[in-house]
């Protein structure tokens, strides 16, 4: 179990926990800023425009993170207040977009650090917990995590952001996902995605490694 890393590899444990917290908080703030731009002040009124992880994640999510390494967050919004025609899609996409921006930024920074000779090429493998953590390895862990979050959240299965985006452009999808008779099927789909999410994380690691080596010249 993830919490066992606290004993066998405490540095990696702390790094992962902090990376997840930062990524989830920034993801939710992405939703919040997009909602505000759409004319919705709910994120401000509810006090969610903050960096406080307890506000975005809550105690249950933080405990889940500490034990199994996974977490979730929430940003209250009022779609009825959105001005744009595709306001729901814009606000929903903003969260994953922040994760993609984080992933791209950290990969770019890691590649530049190695290419300029400021640090040596790390012995980093995306599918193995690194024994030694250096600055570049930490950046790549953050990149892999955020690339996985980007892809996962854009899957068109409720309650993920991708379902909201698709529903805003395809009304039938919104109607189907709102149908209580179909809810068990979507819940089963979400459960399957959650179970096989590890493969998505592996794919994100492969993509991170390819992009990093291309930038680092290694």
Catalytic residue list = 28
How far apart CA 145 and CA 103 sit, in angstroms, is: 8
> Contact at 8 Å (CB) between 158 and 186?
yes
Q: Give the list of residues 6+ apart from residue 190 with CB closer than 8 angstroms, or none.
A: 157, 158, 159, 160
> Contact at 8 Å (CB) between 189 and 157?
yes
Write the DSSP assignment of 58-101 as a string of letters: HHHHHHHHHHHS---------GGG--STTHHHHHHHHHHHHHHH
Number of residues written out for the chain: 218
**DSSP 8-state code for residue 46:** T
Q: Give the list of residues 6+ apart from residue 42 with CB closer than 8 angstroms, or none.
A: 35, 76, 77, 78, 81
Output b/e per residue, 157-187; b: 16+ Cβ within 10 A: bbebbbbbbbbbeeeebbebbeeeeeeeebe
Structural tokens at position 195: 């179970």
């Amino acid at each position: 179990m993830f919490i066992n890393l606290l004993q066998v590899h405490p540095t990696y444990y702390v790094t992962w926990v902090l990376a997840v917290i930062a990524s989830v908080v920034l993801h939710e703030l992405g939703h919040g800023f997009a909602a505000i731009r759409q004319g919705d002040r709910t994120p401000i009124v509810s006090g969610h425009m903050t960096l406080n992880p307890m506000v975005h994640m809550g105690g249950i999510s933080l405990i889940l993170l500490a034990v199994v390494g996974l977490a979730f967050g929430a940003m209250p919004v009022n779609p009825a207040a959105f001005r744009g025609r595709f306001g729901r899609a814009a606000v929903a996409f903003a969260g994953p977009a922040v994760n993609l921006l984080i992933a791209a930024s950290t990969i770019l920074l890691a590649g530049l650090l190695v290419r300029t000779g400021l640090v040596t090429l790390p012995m980093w493998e995306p599918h193995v917990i690194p024994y030694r953590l250096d600055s570049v390895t930490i950046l790549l862990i953050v990149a892999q995590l955020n690339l996985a979050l980007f892809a996962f959240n854009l899957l068109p299965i409720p309650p993920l952001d991708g379902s909201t985006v698709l529903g805003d452009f395809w009304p039938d999808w919104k109607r189907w996902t709102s149908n209580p008779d179909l809810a068990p099927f979507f819940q089963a789909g979400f459960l399957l995605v959650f179970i096989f999410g590890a493969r998505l994380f592996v794919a994100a690691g492969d993509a991170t490694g390819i992009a990093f080596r291309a930038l680092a010249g290694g």
